[in-house]
Structure 1
Amino acid sequence: MIVSGGKSLGFAAQALGETTPSLSNGYFYATNGLNLSGITATYGALYKAQPSIATVVDKIAASAARLTVKVWDNTPATGRVVDTASVFAKLVANPCPEMSPFNFYRWTVATYEVYGEAFWLKVRNGEGQVTGLLPMHPARTMVHRDMEGNVEYVFTLGVASAGILHAPETDVVAFLRYNPESLMRGMSRLEPLRTTLLNEDASRRATQSWWKRGARPSVILTHPGELSQGASDRLKASFDARHAGADNMGGTNVLEEGMNAQIIQLNAEEMQYIESRKLNMQEVCMVFDVPPPVVHILDHATFSNITEQMRSMYRDTMSPRLEDIESTIDRSLRSEFYAPGEREVEFDMSEVLRGDYETRVDKALAARQAGLVTGNEGRAIIGESLSEDPEMNKIYANAALVPLGANVAAQVATDGTLIPTPLTPAKSADLKGLTVRSIMGRISRFKANKPAVREQLVREHTDALVKFFTEQQDAVLAKAGQKDASVFDPAAWNGDLATLLLTLSNATSKAIGDGTAADLGGEYNPDDIADWIESDAEESAANINETTAAQIEGADGLDGIKALFAAYMIGRVVQIATSRVASVGGLASQVAARQSDARTKTWVVTSANARPSHEAMSGETVGLNETFSNGGNGPGDPSMGADEVAGCTCTLEFSKEG
């Protein structure tokens, strides 16, 4: 009750949050349908008639119902644990004696999505304890609220003689979607689709009418004389009986008494509209917030963005819905058993969010080897049972920490400790003449030709890497000939290679960044990415040398090592060169575009043998700070993975418009 100036205003406190006027003793009815062209289609009828709606609703409902609903006990001092023994936990696990748990939760979520609301009726035993839950359909449920704010739910089968159920607020669990006009009823997601549904309904009925008449356009019959209403009706009925309908297709039209038949036909655009207009699945996905690939809309799909959007289904689409359901259960049902904070209901999404089995194994192995988790914690990540071996509960790391300038020697002291020995310095590659200035001097003659600039940058990388791998090969073969146990130490070469890559990257950044900024009328400042270029050069050098070490270890003697480096000179250096120009150049071009106030970027394919995933993206335009449909910021983006970056020659075009 609201009191103002010492007088009751005669309406409930909840009415302050609503726009729908109501009396304190009035009923609140659910909005069960949409007014289409001359008819009212209920939300349930739209679900049955529209494949797009049914597909999206079924996907959301099944995605929620497949999850295990857990009850967490928050009282232990050691942290929360899963409760499976309490009455409340057993009720949540099997809420309805008339339905399986999967069907019950699927009904709840599907009804919530279609109608914007769903209700559970609490079933109590003789002592008043909740022992079960029954689904209560919103289309048959009215909400009555008095001026004190007390709410009563009234369920009816439609006629009073069939029985009416009155349930107080304490006996109902109400799941309500946001409604801008009422706090008592939820609003269906189908409401924002009203215009789309009207078009869909009109086009379907027009098409149905057209086929009902044998796919024959409308006809006007003209008679030279003046006909009475009765004669006109008889003529129409006679003509339709002979020529209307699918069964009369192809018949001969015989006109008498000087009559003439004139066809009235829709134009091509109108016919195409009626034939093609359908409830766009992407519109439904937008309203229901479902990633299109989840319902098999694979336009512009690549492996990387499909994988990410599949995860997004639970992370972004399902999480808010499930949190809404969880909070409602905690408020309206948990309070029957526990005080706030003692128990918490949660849909377990860990299984669907942690990726496929192979990915989990790789992550668990990396965490185990880095000393971040125990063996049993790693087994839990991949979903395996815990081991009883006590060693599996210890943390190990597979690398020893040694002072800088020393490596782990093969000899061991008498006390069992390792004896550090000085590192053998790698032979410095003869690349002193390679500087950013020298590279820019060779590139200057190609300044107006972007493809030529990139080709020259790739050649600069290739030539420098060939010299580096030649020096590396000579050093490795010398040690192998002496049967040195440490044929190749990758760490000893990281410094030289990092310096080499840093010089090449700075030249690439300046050449491509300057060109992009000049096209946009701006000026490029490479300092914005200088730190990234330096760290990337160090990381890339380490990765390249680690790969070399692994391949040398697997090589078969001196001949195998020679064959390995010979292959490097032909293929590997070109792949590394192309990938690094794409990666560093791609970032530099985007930074230069941002500094020059560009607004959009367009993916451009330059190779006749581009990857199919890149070919499909040719011409795709997005905002400068947005990602493309494959999840990357542009060609060479390391976040897309090595398979999408290696050897890529695609580029970007920028615009200040859009």
Structure 2
Amino acid sequence: MAFVVSHGEVRGLARPTTSVPRSLQIAPGYTSDYAAIWRTHGSVRTVTDFLARNIASLGLHLFERAGDADRRRVTDHPLAQLIGRPMPGQYRYAFVEALVQDIAIFDRYLAVKMKGTDSDAPHALVRIPPMIWEPAGDDWTGPTEFLVRGNRGTRTFTRDQVVYIGGYSPAGELGGVPAIESLRSVLAEEHEAALMRAQTFRNGARASGYIERPAGAPPWSAATHARFKAAWRAQYTGSGADVGGTPILEDGMKFTAAQQSAKDLQYIESRKLTRQEVAAAYHIPPPMIGLMETATFASLKEQHKSLYTDTLGPWLQRIQQALAANLLDDFGPEAADMYLEFNIEEKLRGAFEDQAAQLQTSTGAPWLTRNEARAMRNLPAVEGGDELVVPLNVLTGGQASPTDSGTQNQRASHTPRVKAVGPIEYELKAPAGDTIPAEETDPLVKVFRAHFKRQRAAITSATGAKSPTWWDGKRWDAELAEDLLDAGSDLATTAARDVLTGMGLDPDQYDTPRTEAFLAKVAERIASQVNAATLRQIEAALADDDEDDEDDVDPVGHVFDVAEESRADQAAMTAAATFVGFGMAEAPRQVAPKATKRWVVNSWNPRASHAALDGEEVGIEEDFSNGMPWPGSFTGDPEDVANCQCSLVIIR
């Protein structure tokens, strides 16, 4: 038969107060010291409050196991209701806060289960202040009963009548050994140092130093000495009305300064050291409690993430397991598959932007309706706002939104330009020069800079000697085309393989040698265009130099300065877009020759020529009606290609 604890039986227990009367203390040597330390040492209270506040702010939920890999949250069970409201007038936060404080300060916690006459399950938990109870019993495995002294006498509760959490003790003491015990010497030293500093500041002269009377000065009577001493203290020490005045000495006295500042007394350093020691005893990183000397923004962000896993994780496990062990048996066999768990996720969710990106990537589609978004901004719902808006180019198997660049293949830098928009349709975004990653353009930048350096050396020497054959166009075109083909072929192959991977096809089916002849022509065309531009700039610079003989600037050298510093980057971006675009379009031509392709306009204000092409569908080997094989193709008019936002949909 379960023991029933009624309201009347616990009403006589002393309530927790700031000072428990000595008559109500079971073991004053054990508990009163720790309580006094917590009240008087700010570092201890800072740390224990930190623990209690952060743990109490977490939700404590009840779950039921529904198989090895599934669970269900339970909200209507009496245990869930008990945890949510441990006793009338008390809420869960206050219950958990008091529990953590008791464990942090005393390394033990006790609450009496209040049960009704019609049920063995408790309907309330009454916390017993550590100052008025002590564990008892002769079982070395743990206490079997608890002695509680109230204002009406002492009561004894058995183990099944209470919720008991006790700490570890190497000697087997009942109740555990608090962390404060290991801090006694540190806190005692800090206490004495604080008293010394207070006395120094209280009794020290505001004009700190000492007074010397010359050896030949007339002797003082006792009354004269007392008068001078009283006047000095009233004016220069303590909190008298004349504090801070100017000293007036007599009889040839001399004042010798002996200033002792707060720095000399190491006031700040001592306080920081004590707080660090207390934080270390409770395994809390110093920056978490305000010691920011070595903290950075990055380190604080990472420490916040680890706070509820590494720092508070053991506390959470201890509490939720202890509560389950003390309470589940009271609710019968139906609670055998239930367990309690703190909701750490609510503290680790991060900023709303991070949560939105993670959910969008995880679900593969937009996840918030317009009315849900309006409610977050306290705006009224609108008609039709409860429907989830999905962009037309996002279907099952595609990305979460047109702005999402998430991909399973993070190795390939241009994979985000491939988006599956249906079971047989795949969208390829035309590569723009400013969207191509640096790792793709860097090899081409090196090619162009090396080419311009060779040209500088040869042409500067020839023009200086007034050689009529200073420009060798065939040489420059051949050298640059060869170098471009090596770098560009790799880019095209990588882009093609990424497209096939995104389409769900085998990337090894792509035949690189099959494209070499065509890419060689592309490289020759790019080389010819770049060298032609260089020749025009040199001829213009030489002509300007002939008209202005007073200018000492090397005209040819200036052309190549600009070429190496800026033209190389611009030419590399254009060339990279060309090679990557070719690889993206060539891949489906090789592997899916029966496929068709559709021109899609994405801009809200497209060119008229592009708007006319929107939705046009042709064979994979055919050109569109504007003569281009794909949006952004190098075969089109440069003005028609620049900043093109259109995309290509491959239909298998």
TM-score calculated relative to the size of structure 2: 0.51
Q: Which runs of 5+ in 1 are unaligned?
A: 1-26, 34-41, 413-419, 431-461, 480-485, 494-550, 565-658
Relative distance call for 1:239 and 1:471 in structure 2 (3 A) is: closer
- The 5-angstrom pairing of residues 256-335 of structure 1 reads 271-274=264-267, 276-280=269-273, 281-335=275-329
Tell whether 2:565 aligns with 1:470: no
Q: Give the Cα–Cα distance (whole angstroms) in 2 for the partners of residues 169 and 472 of structure 1.
A: 77
Q: Give the Cα–Cα distance (whole angstroms) in 2 for the partners of residues 147 and 60 of structure 1.
A: 32
The Cα of 1:86 is off from its aligned counterpart by 1.4
- The 5-angstrom pairing of residues 436-475 of structure 1 reads 470=571, 473-474=574-575
Relative distance call for 1:269 and 1:250 in structure 2 (3 A) is: closer
- SS state at 2:312 partner: helix
Q: 2:348 aligns with which of 348, 353, 364?
A: 353
Q: 1:94 aligns with which of 85, 89, 98?
A: 85
Question: Number of matched residues?
Answer: 412
Structure number with greater Rg is: 2
The Cα of 1:563 is off from its aligned counterpart by 9.5
Q: 2:34 aligns with which of 43, 46, 61?
A: 43
Q: Give the Cα–Cα distance (whole angstroms) in 1 for the partners of residues 269 and 497 of structure 2.
A: 73
Tell whether 2:197 aligns with 1:196: no
Indicate the residue corresponding to 1:597 in structure 2: none
Q: Which runs of 5+ in 2 are unaligned?
A: 1-25, 377-385, 400-418, 427-492, 504-508, 524-562, 588-630, 645-652
Relative distance call for 1:98 and 1:552 in structure 2 (3 A) is: farther
Indicate the residue corresponding to 1:455 in structure 2: none
Relative distance call for 1:133 and 1:52 in structure 2 (3 A) is: same
Indicate the residue corresponding to 2:159 in structure 1: 169
| 8 Å contact kept, 2:632–2:642 | no
Relative distance call for 1:86 and 1:265 in structure 2 (3 A) is: same
Q: Give the Cα–Cα distance (whole angstroms) in 2 for the partners of residues 557 and 177 of structure 1.
A: 80
Relative distance call for 1:305 and 1:293 in structure 2 (3 A) is: same
The Cα of 1:322 is off from its aligned counterpart by 0.6
Indicate the residue corresponding to 2:113 in structure 1: 122
TM-score calculated relative to the size of structure 1: 0.50
Q: Give the Cα–Cα distance (whole angstroms) in 1 for the partners of residues 156 and 288 of structure 2.
A: 41
Q: Give the Cα–Cα distance (whole angstroms) in 1 for the partners of residues 499 and 270 of structure 2.
A: 72
Q: Give the Cα–Cα distance (whole angstroms) in 2 for the partners of residues 79 and 275 of structure 1.
A: 53
AA matched with 1:137? P
| 8 Å contact kept, 2:163–2:326 | yes
Relative distance call for 1:124 and 1:562 in structure 2 (3 A) is: same
| 8 Å contact kept, 1:293–1:301 | yes
AA matched with 1:352? K
| 8 Å contact kept, 1:315–1:353 | no
Tell whether 2:144 aligns with 1:151: yes
- The 5-angstrom pairing of residues 375-524 of structure 1 reads 396-398=397-399, 399=419, 427=519, 470=571, 473-474=574-575, 476=577, 487=581, 489=583
What do the CA deviations read for 1:230-266 (whole angstroms, capped 9, x no partner)? 999999889767765221534687899x998998968
Indicate the residue corresponding to 2:416 in structure 1: none
| 8 Å contact kept, 1:291–1:310 | no
Relative distance call for 1:79 and 1:234 in structure 2 (3 A) is: same
- SS state at 2:117 partner: coil
Between 247-256 and 173-182, the greater mean CA deviation after superposition = 247-256
| 8 Å contact kept, 1:121–1:173 | yes
AA matched with 2:347? V
Q: Give the Cα–Cα distance (whole angstroms) in 2 for the partners of residues 561 and 195 of structure 1.
A: 78
What do the CA deviations read for 1:90-148 (whole angstroms, capped 9, x no partner)? 11121122422211111211232222222222112124431100111112221222358
Between 266-275 and 171-180, the greater mean CA deviation after superposition = 266-275
Relative distance call for 1:47 and 1:229 in structure 2 (3 A) is: farther
Tell whether 2:108 aligns with 1:108: no
Indicate the residue corresponding to 1:362 in structure 2: 357
Q: Give the Cα–Cα distance (whole angstroms) in 2 for the partners of residues 421 and 77 of structure 1.
A: 45
State the superposition RMSD in angstroms.
5.4
Q: Give the Cα–Cα distance (whole angstroms) in 2 for the partners of residues 279 and 475 of structure 1.
A: 57
AA matched with 1:152? E
Q: Give the Cα–Cα distance (whole angstroms) in 2 for the partners of residues 294 and 368 of structure 1.
A: 35
Q: Give the Cα–Cα distance (whole angstroms) in 2 for the partners of residues 471 and 492 of structure 1.
A: 21
Tell whether 2:199 aligns with 1:209: yes
Q: Give the Cα–Cα distance (whole angstroms) in 1 for the partners of residues 263 and 299 of structure 2.
A: 37
Relative distance call for 1:265 and 1:422 in structure 2 (3 A) is: same
Indicate the residue corresponding to 1:622 in structure 2: none
Over the matched positions of the two proteins, sequence identity in percent amounts to 20
